[in-house]
Structures are given as structure tokens and as C-alpha cells.
Chains A and B, each alone.
Chain A
Amino acid sequence: MDIELIQQILIAALKTGTPLLLIALGELVTEKSGVLNLGQEGMVLMGAMAGFAGAYYTGNLFLGLTLAMVAGMMMALLFGVLALSLNTSQVATGLALTIFSIGLSSFLGSSLVGSTIPGFNSIAIPLLSDIPFIGALLFNQDILIYFSFVITACTWWVLHKTRVGLTIRSVGENPHSANALGIKVIKIRYLATIFGGAMAGMAGAYLSLSYTPMWMENMSAGRGWIALALVVFASWRVGYLMLGAYLFGIASILHLVMQGFGFDISPNLLAMMPYLATLIVMVLISSDSLKQKLSTPMSLSKPFDPKLH
């Protein structure tokens, strides 16, 4: 294979992997605090719709981005009110959030379908972008991709090197003990959930303002769900998560690659690839179930009611 093709594939993988990375990063923090939010798909859609609407009506992409994150956070807050304050089943509430958000984003965005805007442009970082091969890959991207690098690093640092991270992990392992030590379990869980919403919103903005600058119903196409599998794949570790996101990115552009090589396969069959890849990955990671058990936050998806203790 010639080097240019490899570079093109890697750039495409980076671009398709970034929304997955953002969603999964948010969900990872949420899950570390013991909350399983299955509403990622819905929050991404709300983010995409709000982001596009914001940018379209104001002409300001950053306002759109902010609006997308706010929309994601509002959805996460809604999830929090039900699952954390009213102690509803986290699984059911997450599904409900997705169903609700699909409906709401389609409804609110119905007049935007078909409109276009100019999306985020690539920003070449001087000098660094001139490095052969790596330069174009890593240092000539749009601002959201740079953001994703920074946020990944920050998330790792906060989770593993700060007291805030220690608190989040303790709440996810044993809320009863954390409560007895005076840690505000529900507050920490709210914050972690809302962070997840902000990240999902940002991922939505990436889709509708950068990846394909337009709005379409259901445009996230299951990325929220794939990101959930990605968190498990990464065993709740930030480093693996980044790697996994780009691997999934490659898997989802595989059909483009194959078409590029001149394979004549129905586009509908090729479109199954990312979902099929997710299924296969889920099977592969489960072979080491003891390790899986150890890395799963121990109180994941179990409700906690401080009033009862």
C-alpha cells in the first residue's frame, strides 16, 4: 500500500473516531461514578440539532457548539432528575431519554432539514503541520479535534491524579461507604452525568458542524450505542478508549476503503460494517470476563438513595 493511502485512511479514522471518543469519554466519567446513562444516542442527537440550529441562525459556529453542549447537559440533567433523584431504573431511563431525544430533535429540527452551513475549517498549526506524514494527520485538523486531544488528557489527569477523580471513583465503587464518609454521592453523580451530557453534545456538534455540516434526523446513526460498547472495550481506561475510538473509526470507514479498492459490494451491506464490528468486538472483550469484572465500576447502574441510609 502506498503511504499516501495509509495517511488518508488514518485521517479518515481520526475524523470518524473523534465523535466516538468524545461520547465515550463522557460516558466513561459518568460510569466511573456508578451511573449507566444509555441516553448517549439521544444526547448526541440533541447536541447535533441544537448545534446546527445555533450556528445556522446566528452564523456563529462557536455559539452553535456552546448551544450543543448546553442541550446535551440539559438532557443529562433530565436523566439525573429521574434516575438520581427519583431513583428510576437507570437502564429504562436511559432508553427513555434516547426515545424522547430522537422525537424531540426530529420535531424541533424538522424545518432545518436540507439547510447547509459552512462547517469548522482545518487549522494548520505552524511548523508542526509541516512534519511529513504526522503533520497533516495530527496538526492540520479542525478545532474540535484538537479539543478532543486536550479533553482526553485532562480527563485522564483528573480521574487518576486528583482528589476529584478519587471521589468520583469511590462513589462508583461503593456509594454507601462514600456517603458514610460525608461525600455527597448524588451531587457527584449529577456532575459526572452532566459532564457526560456536555461531551455527547459536543460530539453532536462535531457531527453537524464539522463532519457533515448539516442536520438530518437520526444523523448520529448509532454512534451513541457504539460508544457505550467502546467504554467496555476500553475497560474504563482513558488510554485504551482513545485507541479504541480510532480503531472503531477505521472499522466504520472500511466500506469506503473497500469501495476504493474496487470491491463490488452492495452499499447497504457495507453500511452494516460498524455495527458488525461492534458485535465482534463485544464478543472478543468478553473472553476475559474476570478482568472485565474487576474493571467495571462496582456499583454501576445501581440506584442509591441517601434517604434510606
Chain B
Amino acid sequence: MLNIQPRIESSKAMVWCSPLIAIILTMLVSSLMFILLDVRPQQAFEVFVIMPLSDSYNLGELMVKAAPLMLCATGLAICFRANIWNIGAEGQLLIGAVVSSYFAVQAGEDAGISSIMLILLSGMLAGAFWAAIPTALERFFKTNIILSTIMLNYIGLYTLLWAVHGPLADPQGYGFPESAMFAEAVMLPLIQEEGRASVSILIAIFIALITGLVLFKTLPGFIVRVYGEEQAAARYAGFSSNKVVWGVMLFAGALAGFAGSAEVMGPIGQLIPSVSPGYGYAAIIVAYLGRLNPFGIIISSLFMGCLYMGSDLAQIELGLPTAITGLFQGVLLFFMLACDFLINYKISFTSKKVFSKPLKATLINNI
């Protein structure tokens, strides 16, 4: 007989087992799906797991995809830790890309490292500004941050489309919705001989490590965690809610904006309508998969980068639609949410004689 009982203490082991179980379940479900689609699961496994990791070009592409995910997810994780549902990484990334493109197209070949820094900074500020709008609305008018960030994602997307069709369109582009290619001098340095992976992945890892340190070992991190768990306790302790909300939102916005700049100044090299294949939304999943822990996010964003890479390859090798990425992400997120049930509940198989010798009565209060 299946017996489900609430746990008295949350299981720490399950916090980390849950994403692994979810990944395994997702793989099982997708094998089933591949069989229905007439693809051998082994072949699919080869395309989705082996190929992205097998040669250095693919590995580089994996890192190209992991970098923006890692940056966005680190910022989102801190927001979610503070129980602030910032869904706006996508819009913040796009605005970061637009603003830095505005400066990047003006730079010539004589631009130096300081130009690169300034352009990156402009992207970060733009992302932070885009995050500041919903924050200000929430602080002053108590608007729902989920809805306002989503609205700003749409507005950000149309801003990008407007920019590539209008002010930033390449004058020699034959009316294609694209900016001119940026000068070599304002491109981020690459970290591999062949391929497109730039320093942004290293910066992303560095930022994630620092963020993890701050989150778990310092007072500001502690304040964010308390605020997210229980606002009443944060008020009781005298932690300022304004500082927390503004702090995490601007931080997340700046990171997403940075991700946007790094995309256009790195692997893409110009502003195009499809700057982001939904990185900002996928980062929500990455953040959860990494347990809202910046160290975990380093791993989960590499994993998600692999999934993106795999779907690209699957389109070429197996002729599957790219929509399959979104499907996998959704299935994975669902399984993870379901597995998180195990953190707070214990499932055991028992015979009927459950109550013969119960535990010592230690916890009689508050039943």
C-alpha cells in the first residue's frame, strides 16, 4: 500500500536528487516520443548528448548557448530567492542588445578595449533600466511584477523589431531587418581557435561563483534569503524591503542586459530580430534546475546549452522541428516541480500494519 506522509523536516538530499530524477524521467518520456516519431532512442541520444560534447566546435557552440543562460539564470535565481517573480530576463536581454548595438555600429576599427567596456556597460545599464521599470511600478503602485515584466518582454521585443526595421537597419542591407556588422575591434575576444565561444562564458562563471559566495556567506545574501522565505520575518528583523527588491531586480536586469550585449558583440556580431531564442524564458528553467543556487546554475546552464545544441543538430540530422527544445524544457520543468514533492513528503510502500509501533511522541503541539 502506498503511504504518503508529510516530512517533519525538508529533505536536503532530495533538493539535489529531484532535478536528476526529473532529467531521467524526461529522458524516458522523450524516448517514448522518439519511438512514436520513428527515431531510434539511441540515435536521438547520440544527437542530443554525444554530438554536442564530441568535437570542439560543437562544444564551443554549447558554451555560446550556455553563457546567456547562465547570466540570466544567476540574476533570476537571486530574484526568485527573494520571492520576486521577475519573468523579464528576455526583455532585459533584448533591450541590452539593442542599446549596445546602437553604440557598437558607431564604433570604427580604431576602437579600443575601453570602447568594448563602455558598450558592455551600456547594455548592462539598459537591462537594469528595463528591470527598474517594473520595480518602480511595484514599489510605488503595487503592480504585479509577473505581469509587468511579461508586458515589458513584449514591449522589448517590439522595440527590437522597430530598431532593426528602422533606426538601426543597415543602410546597405537591402531592407533586411538587420543592423550593419560590427567592427572587429568591438567584438569580444574568443576563447577558442575555431568556433564562436567568447570570454562571456568565463565572465558568466566568475559572476555565478561570486554571486554564490555573496548569497550564502554574507549579510546581504542572508537578507535576500530571509526576505524571500518570509517577508514578515524580514520586517521583524528590520531588513529593508526596498533595498532587497531594488537590489535583486537591478542586479538581474544588469546581468540579462550584459547577456544581450555579449550576444551581439560575440557570436552574432550584429543586431538581428532573433537575438534570443527565448534565453530569458529558458533561464527560468535553468535557475530552477540549478536549485536557485548559483553554483548549481553553472552546471544546469551547461546542460541546457547542450539541449539547445542538440535540438539544432536534431533539426539537421533527424529533421525534427526546433519546437522540440521548448517541449523538452516544459516536460523537464514539470517533472522537476513534481519531484520537488519529495522534498517535503515521504512516500513509502507499507503493509497494512502501519501503526503498530509509532515513533516516540515528541511533537504533539500544533497538530
Contact = CB atoms under 8 A, between A and B. Distances in A.
B113 interface: no
**Of listed A217, A271, A292, A308, residue having the most chain B CB within 10 A:** A271
Given A269-B158, A282-B147, A103 B329 contact: yes
Contacts of A229: 144, 147
A89 B281 CA distance: 18
A92 B4 contact: no
**Secondary structure at chain B's binding surface: helix, strand, loop or mixed?**
helix
Interface stretch (B58-66, B337-345, B348-356): B337-345
A232 B146 CA distance: 13
B142 interface: yes
A279 interface: yes
Contacts of A92: 288, 337
B338 A107 contact: no
Contacts of B325: 103
B334 A275 contact: no
B328 interface: yes
Interface string B135-148: 00100011110111
A96 B323 contact: no
Interface in A259-295: 266, 268-269, 271-272, 275-276, 278-279, 282-283, 286-287, 289, 292
A96 B330 contact: yes
Interface residues of A, number: 47
Given A82-B337, A88-B338, A286-B143, A103 B137 contact: no
B334 A100 contact: yes
Contact of A266 (B6, B137, B165): B165
A76 B336 CA distance: 18
Given A82-B338, A86-B341, A278-B151, A107 B327 contact: yes
Contacts of A71: none
B323 A103 contact: yes
Contact of A106 (B154, B321, B341): B321
A91 B147 contact: no
B337 A96 contact: yes
Given A38-B146, A99-B285, A279 B151 contact: yes
B321 A103 contact: no
Contact of A102 (B284, B326, B328): B326
Interface in B70-112: 85, 87
Contact of A100 (B4, B148, B165, B327): B327
B151 A225 contact: yes
B341 A91 contact: no
Given A276-B155, A283-B141, A305 B6 contact: yes
A210 interface: no
Contacts of B158: 268-269, 271-272, 275
B166 interface: yes
Contacts of A282: 137, 141, 143-144, 147-148
A101 interface: yes
B327 to A, nearest CB: 4
A107 B148 CA distance: 28
Interface of A: 38, 78, 82, 86-89, 91-93, 95-97, 99-104, 106-107, 110, 217, 221-222, 225, 228-229, 232, 266, 268-269, 271-272, 275-276, 278-279, 282-283, 286-287, 289, 292, 305, 307-308
Given A86-B338, A99-B281, A101-B330, 20 more contacts: A78-B334, A88-B337, A88-B338, A96-B330, A96-B337, A97-B334, A102-B330, A103-B330, A103-B331, A104-B326, A106-B326, A225-B151, A272-B155, A276-B155, A279-B137, A279-B143, A282-B147, A283-B143, A286-B142, A286-B143
29 contacts: A88-B341, A96-B330, A96-B333, A96-B337, A99-B281, A99-B330, A100-B329, A100-B333, A100-B334, A102-B326, A102-B330, A103-B325, A103-B326, A103-B327, A104-B330, A106-B321, A110-B321, A222-B154, A268-B162, A269-B162, A271-B158, A272-B154, A275-B152, A275-B155, A279-B148, A279-B152, A286-B141, A286-B143, A287-B141
